[in-house]
Amino acid sequence: MVKTQSPSETAELLRPYKVGDIVEGSVVGIGRSAVYLDLAPQGTGIIYGREFLDEKDALKDVKPGDNITAKITNMETDKGYIELSLREAGRELSWEKLKENKENEESVMVKIIGANKGGLLAEIHSTPAFLPVSQLSPEHYPRVENGDGNKILEELTKFVGEELEVQIIDMDAKEGKLILSERSKERARVKELLGSYKVEDVVSGEITGVVDFGAFIKFGKEAEELEGLIHISEIDWQIIDDPSQVLKVGDKVEAKIIDISQGRVSLSLKALKEDPWKGIETKYAKGDVVKGKVTKLNPFGTFIEIEPRIQGLAHISEFGTKLKMEESLHLGKEYTFTIVEVNAPEHRMSLHLESETAAKSENAESGSKS
């Protein structure tokens, strides 16, 4: 039985080739530094020169009759052949396959071949790929205190040579960018488990990691454990500079769920503590003169402790420049301030340094210089 071609197949076969097309041909000849392909009815293709040398290993076992896929780089050489590239065809086909992987949200196994402070290096279909630290699964995330870059790199280097299951979350063939995520494979399972929780729920859990931006907490039944993040701003009502000074791995805590989105859960410890700002407006008012201790100097101003867990801010504009602020105020010292504003719902108190205090500071500075 003779197989006949459909009109569309015939039309495609007769469509004139152009530079950039991916074509398939049968090997009709093998020279010392060239391979010839039958691209009938449109001519004969050739892989030669630099292309032949670069792909010598891939071509060493080909024989007449083998089919090869290549990309057209020149429609006619000086000898009338259609010039082909194996390397460019392979690259383009790889990106097509990667695109399918991404669109179908397929999981793939990749071998980690390197690491830097930002994440892990891998390859998929011979294409370089990057797995950022932020996209590592909770169990693989480097729990490094104070965000020490060298320690993070040390932890990430342990994965070199291992295989991880990932999904493609971003790609750009022109830029050669391929971004992977290990978190996405867990997303469906986590979303399903999170279905039994809601915002405002209080859960009991264990601190599994402490980093510079907060702490990780594991909660739920043993077979259905979930991990969430307690951001540094949700640890306590007072300002926390170093979470490791407040929380340790293994601590048993209760936390309130404050957000569930995109398969992630955020929790709060301070939401279960009495808000020290509640009713503060009955105690302090605009124009009141108060004593306060300097706890932190920032480029935007200085934090002043009025009483335990209640801090106000003297904005940088009160001083003009950061240098003048640092000359006027010193960490741990107590000064006199006037309250400019009290906003209990936003936990904000604005302060103005009393001129008498500033003058004393300037006089003391002048005295030391003289």
Instruction: Give the end of a domain, one of 272, 307, 332.
Output: 272
Based on the fold, state whether residues 74 and 154 are members of the same structural domain: no
Is 140 contained in some domain? yes
Phi and psi torsions of 44, nearest 5°: -120, 135
Based on the fold, state whether residues 284 and 365 are members of the same structural domain: yes
Q: Is the pLDDT of residue 89 over 70?
A: no
Based on the fold, state whether residues 261 and 285 are members of the same structural domain: no
Q: 331-370 pLDDT, tens per residue?
A: 999 999 999 999 988 888 999 998 755 445 444 444 544 4
Q: Is the pLDDT of residue 293 over 80?
A: yes
Domain count, the chain: 4
Do 237 and 246 meet the contact criterion of CB atoms below 8 Å apart?
Answer: no
Instruction: Give the end of a domain, one of 182, 217, 239.
Output: 182
**CATH number of the domain residue 325 falls in:** 2.40.50.140
Is 205 contained in some domain? yes
User: Which residues partner with 132 through β-bridges?
Assistant: 119
Is 15 contained in some domain? no
Out of 58-67, 285-294, 296-305, least confident range: 58-67
Is 81 contained in some domain? yes
Is 319 contained in some domain? yes
Q: Region 55-68: what's the mean pLDDT?
A: 83
Q: 240-267 pLDDT, tens per residue?
A: 888 988 999 899 999 999 998 877 889 9
Residue 92's pLDDT band (boundaries 50, 70, 90)? low
pLDDT winner (highest mean) among 125-139, 192-206, 329-343: 329-343
Tell me the whole-structure pTM to 2 decimals.
Answer: 0.53
Question: Which residues form the domain of 162?
Answer: 105-182
pLDDT given for residue 1 in this prediction: 37
pLDDT given for residue 230 in this prediction: 94
Share above pLDDT 90 across residues of the chain, in percent, rounded to a whole number: 28
Based on the fold, state whether residues 216 and 267 are members of the same structural domain: yes
Rounded CA-CA distance 255/235 in Å is 9
Instruction: Give the end of a domain, one of 122, 156, 182.
Output: 182
Is 318 contained in some domain? yes
How open is the CA angle 31-34-37, to the nearest 5 degrees? 95
264-268 and 226-231 beta bridge pairing:
parallel
